[in-house]
């Protein structure tokens, strides 16, 4: 189970890095995939970059915790980070996004992050 716990944690951290990159360098498609399309050339451009920095930073911190502080620290981190996709779900619902995206992407992500935390705590 330890291999599964570490693998899932690393994949989630790398996914955060990917999301950060995408919001920084491909903000239009990233915003559409998020569930609330935004024009990166308009007022939303700065906020898309902020999301990119946030997500990328979460990935770096997660990988650093796993490498230098261990599974228990990563588990607590994952437990806290699960708030991010839950908040994203509410943002999508509040700003006209579809329930399918809000629940199918953001709620599902929160559940996977919580599963990762549980596996790390147990491992």
Q: What confidence tens digit (pLDDT) does each residue in 91-114 have?
A: 999 999 999 999 999 999 999 999
3-state secondary structure of 73: helix
Tell me the pLDDT tens digit for each residue of 7-16: 999 999 999 9
List b or e across 51-89, with b for residues whose CB sees 16 or more CB atoms inside 10 angstroms: bbeebbebbeebbebbeeeebeebbebbbebbebbbebb
pLDDT confidence of residue 77:
98
Give me the domain span that covers residue 23: 2-122
Q: What is the mean pLDDT of each run of 10 residues along the chain (123 residues)?
A: 94 98 95 91 90 97 98 98 97 96 97 98 93
The C-alpha atoms of residue 35 and residue 1 are separated, in whole angstroms, by: 34
Number of separate domains in the chain: 1
pLDDT confidence of residue 67:
97
pLDDT confidence of residue 40:
85
- pTM over the 0.85 mark: yes
């Amino acid at each position: 189970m330890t291999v599964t716990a570490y693998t899932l944690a690393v994949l989630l951290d790398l996914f955060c890095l990917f999301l950060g990159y995408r919001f920084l360098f491909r903000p239009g498609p990233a915003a559409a995939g998020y569930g609330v399309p935004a024009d990166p050339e308009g007022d939303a451009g700065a906020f898309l970059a902020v999301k990119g920095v946030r997500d990328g930073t979460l990935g770096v911190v997660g990988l650093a915790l796993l490498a230098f502080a261990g599974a228990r620290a990563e588990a607590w981190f994952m437990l806290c980070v699960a708030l991010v996709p839950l908040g994203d779900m509410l943002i999508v619902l509040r700003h006209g996004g579809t329930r399918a995206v809000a629940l199918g992407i953001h709620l599902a992500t929160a559940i996977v992050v919580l599963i990762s935390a549980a596996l790390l705590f147990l491992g």
